[in-house]
Each structure stands twice: as structure tokens, then as C-alpha cells.
Amino acid sequence: MSVPLDSGFEAVYTVLKYYDGPRSGIADFKGKPHFYQCIFDDSQDEFSDEFSISPIDQGTFQLALEKWNIWLRWKEAFHLGKTTQATHPALPEDRDRHTELTKLLENKMALNLETKIKTKGDFKVREEWKRSFECAPWQVKWSEVNPAQNAREIFDVVNDHDEVIGQQTRGEVHRLGLKHRAVHVLVFNRRGEVFLQKRSMHKDTAPGAWDSSASGHLDTGEDYDACAVRELHEEIGLKTTSAPVRLFKINARPETGQEFVWVYRLEAEGPFTLHPDEIETGGWFAPEKVTSWMAKRPRDFARALLLIWELFHAPR
């Protein structure tokens, strides 16, 4: 069935998972079918408006559409009172083929780590399609975000002792919860205020949350000190010829996203040049205000910073 689309929107062919909107399925991206999967924001404990998408081949697309049409036939029969919920998701005459298609698609309907990108998805329902049994009543407008921060970035994977045991893509490290390395830097001024950044909504973790002055993952083969210097320059435009003062190290744990983290301190006055793809805004805050703010609204902050701030004020 050919259906009209609003300007800038593309076709949604299937909705495999739904929770307050489509969360996975197949839709066009730049006119070609892609598998889409919503990114769950652990820091907010809810689905975000960002999706990982990757292209699928024509054969996979046709198999997926066949399976979808089997479900549509069941849906129509159910709404017409010709079958019961017990037969879901396929009518008796389609059940064997549905099982066969499920097996054929088992390893095909997944994100390709080599080709996936991150994009925001604005799904919109067309009222006139709602009662149709021939299509998904959705269309989507995609807007690619932060294409430089993608799944092909390579991280060192480490063991429980922070020893390098291999390398993996950024996407795979985060998907599998593999241990890896990162740094956080707290920048203070002469008045004793700390500079915090508000993470860009384009970030793949904790978008929009308040975080350390500068932070980031170690590149493959990079050491902690070099990463701290690099992240200060890249994120807030602060150049330093030597590494900041090391404060303490945190072992990999859920609060850090399975990152071993060295935390640093530096004194600087600004003003800073904030990286637009990384940081939405930033500001100076009195430490006691930060502590009070965290107590009242912990969800405003990245989980790692909550832990870092607690350890920063703990006796050492």
C-alpha cells in the first residue's frame, strides 16, 4: 500500500517493540530500509528520543515484511472477531511460516556495529491510518546527531586489574558492559567554585545531565594523564602542558558505566570554549550549592559525577 507522507518524514514499515511509541522495527532512512532501536537512558531510567539505526539488505527486508504481514492478517481477523488472542501472533494457516521466518530473521534483525549511526527519531502517527490493517500507522523524521561519536571508535578493554586484554568498538563495549578506561577532571577557580558542564543532548549516555568539568574515554594505547590533557582541550578549550593533579582512582563499577576512572583537579579561571557537540552549557558553582542540588535532584547529574562528588568530599 502506497501512503502519503508529511514533508521530511519517511515510512515506518514495522514496529517490533512499542512502549509509549515505536522502540524498534524497520523504517526508511534516506529512502532505504534500516533497522531502528531506541536507546535506553540508564541515568533517567527511561527511553530517550535517540535511536541506533543500521541498513538492512533487501532479502532481510522482504522476509521482515512477510512476517509483519502475517501479524497484520492476524490483527485484522482479531478485530473482526474471527480469531482469539490465543492464536497471537499468527493465524493457524500462517503459524508454520511465521515460525520459519522468526528463525530466519533471528540473527538478521540486529544493529550492525560497523554501519550503525545514532539519530533522533520523531515518530508521528497519521490518524487516517489508525484503522488500517495494511500498514503501520507511523511515519518518522530522522535527524542524525553527533556523527563523529560513533560505534566504530575503538577502546582498550581491561580486566579487573585495569590491565589491557584487548580492543573493541565503542558500541560493543557499552552494549556488553565491558570494563574500559576514562578520566574526569574537576576545575576550580580562585573563589573555590567548581566548573560543571551540562552534557549535550547528542551524547550516547546521560544526555542533558550535569557532569564534571571535562571527562572522556581513553583512546587505544593512551594513558590516563594524556587523556586528561586532551579532554580539557577538546571539551572546554583549556590548554595545559602537564597533567592535572591526580586525586583518586575509582575501580570499574555500574555507577561509572564499568569504567576505571582517574579523577583529577585543576585550577583555572576561564572563560572556556565549550565544544558544541559535547556540551550544551556550563557554569561555576559553589561546592555547597552542588552538594545541596545533588541531594534534592540527583537525576540532574550523571551517575559518575554523583559518585565522584561523594568520594571527593570523603576523608582520604
Element (H, E) at 158: strand 154-158
Interval 25-48 mean pLDDT: 86
Of 288 and 21, more confident: 288
Task: Kindly list the structural domains of the chain, giving each domain's residue range(s) and its CATH number in brackets, ordered by start.
Answer: 10-144 (no CATH), 154-312 (3.90.79.10)
Residue 108 banded pLDDT, cuts 50, 70, 90: confident
Tell which residue, 245, 260, 241, 264, has the closest CA to residue 312. Answer: 264
Residue 97 has pLDDT above 50, yes or no: yes
3-state secondary structure 18-44: ECCCEEEEEEEECCEEEEEEEEEECCC
- H-helix segments, the chain: 58-79, 95-105, 170-176, 224-236, 287-296, 303-312
Using the predicted structure, report yes or no on whether residue 134 has a pLDDT greater than 70: no
Q: Return d(Cα 181, Cα 249) in angstroms, integer.
A: 11
pTM (predicted TM-score): 0.55
pLDDT digits (tens, 9 = 90+) for 1-11: 455 788 889 98
The pLDDT confidence band at residue 66, using thresholds 50, 70 and 90, is: very high
Q: Spell out the residues 6+ positions from residue 254 whose beta carbon is closer than 8 angstroms to its own.
A: 303
Q: Judge whether 181 and 156 are in contact, CB under 8 Å.
A: yes
pLDDT per residue over 215-239, tens digit each? 999 988 899 999 999 999 989 999 9
